Amino acid sequence: MHITLDRRPPAEIEADALIVPVFEDRRSDRFGAAEWHDSGEITGKPGEMTLLHRAPGSGAVRVLLAGAGPEAKFDPNGMRKLAGTAVRFLKAKSLKKIALLVESDDEFAAAAVEGALLGNFDPDRYRTGDRKQAESFTVVGNVSDDAVQRGRIVGEAQNFTRGLVNEPGNLLVPAKIAEAAGAMASAHGLDCETLDEAKMRELGMGALLGVAQGSAEPPVFVVIRYRPANPGAGGVHLGLVGKGVTFDTGGISIKPADGMEKMKYDMAGGATMIGAMQAIAQLKPAIPVTAFIPCVENMPGSRAQRPGDIVTALSGKTIEVINTDAEGRLILADALVYARRQGCTHLVDAATLTGAIVVALGHLRLGLFSNDDALRDRVLAASDAEGERAWPMPLDDDYKDYLKSAFADLANVGGRWGGAITAAMFLREFAETTPWVHLDIAGTAWLDEEKPHLAKGPTGLPVRTMIRLATDWK
């Protein structure tokens, strides 16, 4: 989708449709809306769409009056959803050239562009036949070019992540993630390194390699580096760690067949960090940022890891593998240690880690765990600002008791109770004292049913949170 800014008045804007937000508690008389308000055909409720043809005061062929809810509650996240909903409504009618009236707020302009790009995405790449897509989106208003460009950069990064997550497991094996990351890095001036199986074995990444050994597809470990010209923030080096399980059968502890096809999304955490790095390269934050993406396929082959196996992680800790379907924490353990050894002073990981977090929070909030209050608050502020809601979860020391093993330093699962917490507690053992946040995105990285503003399938959360976290760090 081509993104532009036009500061001319609406009467001079040429488009197939001009989107105009209307509020529940403010009667508007622009574009002939007054009579529709008075008749009760327009209420301004969120998601309401009223399409007018040849409306007075508009140069566009159509005006779409888009419900925005109460004006006092309308924020950039509301604008993002409104733009996405409107674009999806209009492109279903085969309209290609779309504009949206923003007036004069930069935050709203950026959110409108993000929403339009996100709404224009559909997971139907492999369907034959014509695809309904809008071709252009114009922000109409007295806003800055920088705001519109930021919205484009962030929206495209989130869609890049969604595209990766949407790829089926037979086409996006670990080596293909490395290729995609390398191509992105090359296009945007980032350094990208891929550790192969031999290098990981030489380093001693036994937890990661144990997961990978059941698959014919070799594992890879992708490292993407951004270095600012003049680093600030007192030596801060942010490490972004993402789980990259390209397909998760559960291994020997095999999953039920029902719903297993969705397990292609088990690399959403890794895709999040690759997408975030694409935007970070263009927005150029003041701090160095490095992404670490361990990529494996978890399969029940003849060489697969067995329940009861003991592996030695990069840190030297030994792990009893009780359940081979708790594989994400094993690959993240080695990734967190490697990130610390690469000089990262602060760590954030994202992973589709546990079904338990979905039981706790549903599909509405990310689960957030941390060993550091200051970093926790930074991530929460970024997620709130971006509308990617997170909820802080407990991480009390005595939860570690659930991970006791009679045969190794710790077990990889802690039993039935508090599953998301014990998974995070396992990871904390490898973050050690480095300030660290873990985001369990199992409930938010995928939509089982489409929403008015977003297609069914990968959401791209929490790409925006990672971008804001890096760019707001001064």
Q: Which residues are known to be catalytic? A: 255, 329
CB 432 within 8 A of CB 347: no
Q: What is the pairing mode between strands 346-351 and 366-370? A: unpaired
Q: What is the pairing mode between strands 446-447 and 457-458? A: antiparallel
Secondary structure class of 288 (helix, strand, coil): coil
Q: How far is CA 328 from CA 28, 32, 472, in A?
A: 52, 56, 29
The DSSP code sequence of 136-194 is EEEEEES--HHHHHHHHHHHHHHHHHHHHHHS-TTT--HHHHHHHHHHHHHHHT-EEEE
Q: How far is CA 332 from CA 172, 221, 313, in A?
A: 20, 11, 10
The size of the chain, in residues, is 474
Task: Considering only CA atoms, give the Rg of the chain.
Answer: 23
**Which residues lie closer than 8 Å to 420 by C-beta, 6 or more apart?**
353, 354, 356, 357, 360, 367, 369, 393, 440
Distance separating alpha carbons of residues 326 and 345, to the nearest angstrom: 27
The identity of residue 128, as a single letter, is: T
Q: How far is CA 65 from CA 78, 110, 114, 452, in A?
A: 15, 20, 19, 15
Nearest to 122, CA basis, from 169, 87, 170? 87
The neighbouring-strand residues paired with 223 are 193, 292
**Which residues lie closer than 8 Å to 244 by C-beta, 6 or more apart?**
174, 177, 222, 267, 269, 270, 271, 293, 294, 295, 296, 331
Distance separating alpha carbons of residues 65 and 232, to the nearest angstrom: 45
Distance separating alpha carbons of residues 419 and 424, to the nearest angstrom: 9
The neighbouring-strand residues paired with 226 are 289
As a three-state string, the secondary structure of 219-257 is: CEEEEEEECCCCCCHHHCCEEEEECEEEEECCCCCCCCC
How does DSSP classify residue 104? T
The neighbouring-strand residues paired with 50 are 65
